[in-house]
Amino acid sequence: MNFFKALLITNIIILILIIPGFIFLNKYITQRNNSNDPNTAKPTSNSSNIIDLNIEDNIEEDLDDGKLKEESIIIPTELQPSYNEFKWEVLKDKTPISVNDNVNFPEPEEYNSIEGVTTFRGNNYRNSASYGTVDVKEEKLEKVWSVKIGYIDTWTGVGWNGQPAIVKWDDNIRTKMNIFDNKKSKNNLKEVIYGTLDGKIYFLDLEDGKYTRNPINIGFPIKGSVTVDPRGLPLLYCGQGVEKNGDVTGKIGFRIFSLIDQKLLLFINGLDRDAYRYWGAFDSTPLIDAKNDTMYECGENGILYSVKLNTSFDADAGLISINPEILKYRYTSPSLKRPGMENSIAIYKNLAYFVDNTGYLHCVDLNTFTPRWVRFVNDDTDSTVALEVSDDKKVYLYTACEVDHQKSNGYSYVRKINALNGELVWENKYQCSYNSETNGGVLASPVVGKNDIDNLVIYNIARAWNKNGGKLIAFDKETGKEMWVINFNNYSWSSPVDIYTKDGKSYLIFCDSAGYMYLIEGKTGKILDKIPVGGNVEGSPAVYEDMIVVGTRGQQIFGIKVK
């Protein structure tokens, strides 16, 4: 009897040990299969247009010319999409096209074939909002011109992230545009193009601030930054931030205009029936793949859009048209509380980076439209990531979050991350005040230092050392150590801009919420000059050689010279 009792107890123990293992194995296989099946995401009315895509969780390929060939890349388990229960799918919009498999963005120095600043932070690495060099003699700032602009409801002047584009057009193209005759005939005309909260896109002469042509009026606030086609084609890209103008509710979405005659060529409805979030704003700015004639743009509805433009341009006749074909990448996860992207997409070769409103940093392979890795970064992130390739050919990104979901006493995390596999290199955190209207933490994009500050990355952190104050901090790129810090009495959402002399000496242009612009020595953090601009600067400056352009909530656009 004792023998059978012992045998029974032994069998029960074995079953207790084995059954959970079978349950775990079954769950793992199910999760693995589901994670690679795009059809497990919520179906839509055009679910028949889903392109069936699968990738393996462990990526062990090499990266070379946009394809993985040079070095082995293994994604840590905790950063794999399946581990985070992310599911994704790619939807076609009417026209039957497929994912492009030869995406290969150039180095940032080769992104623009036109002189100037064409997009937010300048290029596909999002690492520069200045063009050319500056001849600094006095280390002073001087207001050269200003232009009065308007408002819609409480949306005044220029808001976050409002950066202008500044471009010098090819002479032949300029003569075909609807630029005013006195400006059309001007040698070396540099045109400032600025989308503002009064619902207009302004066109100004960089030299004197005079109008080069009539504004485009979309009638609703523009919160983001305009983009000019980096190929020098007369195409203008513009997102919209708000759909209200008094009692009027209008369309909200993303637009492409011809800069020959300012006619609308494409409108993407932000209230997309394929989106998981019913929110139509586009604060993000796009990037253009010149080789493949394709635009990539993130929406606050949670969709990454790929738009094959099929551009036709006859320079001699002054005719331009597009015939868009659209793919939509969408994703979902049980941990996703608020899909949608307000920061702008950055791209290294075929790898795209953005952060969503929940706080997930994504790396998406544009050759397959599949996620390589995702990483939780603690909070909503409006700051656009910046990319860098080191001397030893390693690829890094810099990112920092705001204090939103964390509420009071939350932290803004500043991080350097391996861009190929998502692993953390270093991080620093700063406790910031919370305000539901004007968030603390990082809203601005960083300066990735070059020349005499090539060892520094510089971040602007709002509400970081007192309720209303802010910090401008230069971090050592290798270690994350603070190299210099400036404590300001007023916070800032504006992105600082780095400018350089011909011999590589750096200066920073920095603006704050009290309405001041600063000229700062890049290497030391020494404040060299400070001038008032009459209103909170939420937007971000752009610089063409020695001229700075920035708009304020005080309903003015300024042209300011570095002397």
Domains of the chain: 108-562 (2.130.10.10)
For the cut 70, the answer to whether the pLDDT of residue 378 exceeds it is yes
| CA–CA distances in Å: residue 210 to residues 141, 145, 151, 192 | 20, 9, 20, 10
Burial class, 12, CB count within 10 angstroms (exposed 0-12 / middle 13-18 / buried 19+):
exposed
Q: Which of 96-100, 186-190, 351-355 has the lowest mean pLDDT?
A: 96-100
Work out the pLDDT band at 94, boundaries 50, 70, 90. Answer: low
Strands 542-544 and 130-131: parallel
Give residue 124's pLDDT band: very low, low, confident or very high (50, 70, 90). Answer: very high
Please give the structure tokens belonging to residue 231. Answer: 């190929």
Among candidate residues 118, 194, 209, the one with its CA nearest the CA of residue 161:
194
* pLDDT cut 90: percent of the chain above it: 83
Instruction: Please give the average per-residue pLDDT across 169-188, as a whole number.
Output: 94
Burial class (CB in 10 A: 0-12, 13-18, 19+), 146: middle
Identify the pLDDT of residue 436.
86
In this predicted structure, the answer to whether residue 511 has a pLDDT above a threshold of 50 is yes
Q: What average pLDDT does the structure give for the chain?
A: 89
Q: Residue 442's pLDDT is what?
A: 98
Amino acid in the structure at residue 40: T
What does the pLDDT read at residue 66?
46
Location of structure tokens 């060892």: 455
User: d(Cα 443, Cα 438) in Å, to the nearest integer?
Assistant: 10
Amino acid 32: pLDDT? 36
Q: Is 148 exposed, middle or buried (0-12, 13-18, 19+ CB in 10 A)?
A: exposed
Task: Check residue 522 and give its pLDDT.
Answer: 98
Picking from 353, 360, 346, 356, the residue whose alpha carbon sits closest to that of residue 275 is 356
pLDDT of residue 95: 62
Residues in the chain: 563
Residue 128: pLDDT band (50, 70, 90) is very high
What residues have CB less than 8 Å from 299, skipping those under 6 apart? 254, 268, 270, 272, 275, 280, 281, 282, 284, 305, 340, 341
Q: What is the pLDDT of residues 289-348, one digit of tens each?
A: 999 999 999 999 999 999 999 999 999 999 999 999 999 999 999 999 889 999 999 999
Question: What integer pLDDT is reported at residue 437 of this predicted model?
Answer: 87
Listed in order, strand segments (DSSP E) in 443-494 are 447-448, 456-462, 470-476, 482-488
Cis-peptide into 161, omega within 30 deg: yes
The strand pair at 87-93 and 402-403 is best described as unpaired
On the question of pLDDT at 51 being above 90, the answer is no
Q: Quick check: 483 pLDDT over 60?
A: yes
Q: Quick one: what percent of the chain has pLDDT higher than 70?
A: 87
Closest CA to 320 of 312, 332, 329: 312
Task: Please choose, from the candidates 254, 325, 310, 374, the residue with its C-alpha nearest in 3D space to the C-alpha of residue 91.
Answer: 325
Q: How far apart are CA 323 and CA 556, in angstroms?
A: 37
**What confidence score (pLDDT) does residue 67 get?**
53
Sequential DSSP letters for 513-541: TTSEEEEEETTT--EEEEEE-SS---S--
The yes-or-no verdict on residue 58 having pLDDT over 80 is no
d(Cα 233, Cα 235) in Å, to the nearest integer?
Answer: 6
Q: How far is CA 200 from the centre of its chain?
A: 22
Q: How far apart are CA 509 and CA 533, in angstroms?
A: 13
**pLDDT at position 466:** 85
Question: Residue 376: phi, psi to the nearest 5?
Answer: -80, 130
Residue 355 has pLDDT above 60, yes or no: yes
The predicted-structure confidence for 512-525, as pLDDT tens digits, reads as follows: 999 999 999 999 99
Measured between alpha carbons, how far is 142 from 562 in angstroms, rounded to an integer? Answer: 7
**Out of 59-73, 109-123, 151-165, 529-543, least confident range:** 59-73
Give the C-alpha separation, 24 to 538, whole Å.
Answer: 51
Separation in Å, CA 318 to CA 149, 176, 191, 250, 259:
30, 5, 18, 31, 10
- The lowest-confidence range among 15-29, 156-170, 198-212, 522-536 is 15-29
Q: What secondary structure letter does DSSP report for 134?
A: -
